[in-house]
């Protein structure tokens, strides 16, 4: 089934509405760590374009003094905290706390005051303090970036919806190691969980926030 056919079926089914956005967004960067952006890592792939697009978005958020949050996957050296996920994805065992693979990609220029959440599951919410961080920052909307589209980005998008956060996914700011799952999940995320938009629209939204004239990107 083609992507166009899928979209037509979804539209006939009443999927794909636009979520209304708020005026206090945060940028949530999921797992753009060396373990996913460095091709030397088993799980790594060339996400240079994703990193570059996300860097643009981060610059706009920082200019507007908006919250920036990173997540990274990391396990204890004995891997006993990995449970079933490590059985399904044994290469996750490379992501040991303290190793270079858990470090946020330095090209993103993370600042010392920007929160980094260590996670051990696909969703950024699973077993973490992310809900408390979002509440404490007064966040009402999330701009979701990161990797992988078919894994942790999708899982986080689902939970953001369930926690009541309207979400934007700039398509250039998410990536995957294979194009097929990447594109298929973007279609599904747009249909059910978040607003998938060009990065230029996300930047325009942030600029509107800075001007005090928020507008939802289409």
> Which residues are annotated as catalytic?
152
- Tell me if 149 sits within 8 A of 77, measured CB to CB: no
- Tell me if 123 sits within 8 A of 156, measured CB to CB: yes
Q: How many CB atoms lie within 10 A of CB 120?
A: 18
The string of DSSP codes covering the chain is --HHHHHHHHHHTT--PPPPP-SSEEEEEE--BHHHH-TTSTT----HHHHHHHHHHHHHHHHTT--EEEEEE-B-TT-TT-HHHHHH-GGGGG-BTTSGGGSBPGGG---TTSEEEEESSSSTTTTSSHHHHHHHTT--EEEEEEE-IIIIIHHHHHHHHHTT--EEEEGGGEE-SSHHHHHHHHHHHHHHT-EEE-HHHHHHHHHHHHHT------
Strand partners, 25: 141
């Amino acid at each position: 089934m083609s992507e166009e056919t899928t979209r037509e079926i979804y539209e006939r089914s009443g999927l794909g509405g636009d979520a209304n956005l708020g005026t206090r967004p945060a940028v949530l960067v999921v797992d753009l760590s060396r373990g996913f952006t460095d091709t030397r890592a088993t799980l790594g792939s060339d996400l240079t374009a994703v990193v570059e697009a996300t860097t643009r978005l981060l610059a706009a958020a920082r200019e507007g003094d908006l919250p920036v949050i990173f997540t990274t996957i990391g396990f204890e050296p004995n891997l006993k905290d990995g449970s079933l996920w490590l059985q399904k994805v044994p290469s996750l065992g490379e992501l040991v706390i303290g190793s270079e693979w858990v470090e946020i990609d330095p090209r993103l220029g993370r600042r010392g005051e920007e929160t980094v959440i260590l996670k051990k599951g696909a969703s950024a919410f699973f077993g973490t303090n992310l809900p408390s961080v979002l509440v404490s920052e007064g966040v009402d909307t999330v701009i979701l970036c990161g990797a992988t589209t078919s894994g942790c980005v999708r899982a986080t998008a689902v939970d953001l919806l369930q926690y009541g956060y309207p979400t934007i996914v700039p398509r250039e700011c998410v990536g995957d190691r294979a194009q097929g799952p990447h594109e298929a999940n973007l279609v599904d995320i747009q249909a059910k969980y978040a607003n998938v938009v060009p990065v230029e629209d996300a930047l325009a939204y942030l600029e509107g926030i800075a001007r005090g004239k928020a507008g939802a990107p289409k």
